[in-house]
Amino acid sequence: GNAQALEQAKLGVYSAEQLPSFKENYERAGGKRDLSAYCTEAYGQIALKESLKRNILFFQHNLVSDHVFGEMQVIFCRNVFIYFDQRLRQRVLDKFAQSLCPGGFLCLGAGERLPRSSFPAFSEFAPEERIYRYAV
């Protein structure tokens, strides 16, 4: 479930079998350094370096009932909007706008798009990947 996924992300330890796909995704995202700058491989596993994990905050947040959650640089909200009606979707987008730093990113699921009413608060950064940027 969600709690288990969050714990896995906090640990930052994954099967080394995933390394080729991680490298490919990193390069496709524009990564310039070698991926080994951010993780180590040993005993059939890869682990994120502590220096990277210190800068990442993982927590569960109820989009409907919880308040704004601080100045975030990136928010991943994948495959959630498809379950919301237009009114609730706009309420959550307003919460995201209040929570993101200027220039921060909002990443949605593959089947989701921001409604046109969200612009100019958000602009399309990588539309094919459903990544939007909060207005600077």
User: Residues 112, 130: contact at Cβ < 8 Å?
Assistant: yes
User: Residues 38, 48: contact at Cβ < 8 Å?
Assistant: yes
pLDDT of 136 > 70? The answer is no
Distance (Å, whole) CA 134 – CA 69:
15
Distance (Å, whole) CA 62 – CA 115:
21
Tell me the two tokens of residue 86. Answer: 């237009």
What Å distances lie between residue 68 and 62, 90, 100, 105, 130, CA to CA?
A: 10, 14, 9, 16, 22
pTM of the model: 0.67
Q: If you average pLDDT over every residue of the chain, what do you get?
A: 87
17-69 pLDDT per residue, tens: 999 999 998 888 888 899 889 999 999 999 999 998 888 877 777 777 777 77
Output 84 or 120, whichever has higher pLDDT. Answer: 84
What Å distances lie between residue 23 and 6, 20, 36, 87, 132, CA to CA?
A: 22, 5, 9, 39, 23
Distance (Å, whole) CA 118 – CA 95:
12
Per-residue pLDDT band for 1 (boundaries 50, 70, 90) equals low
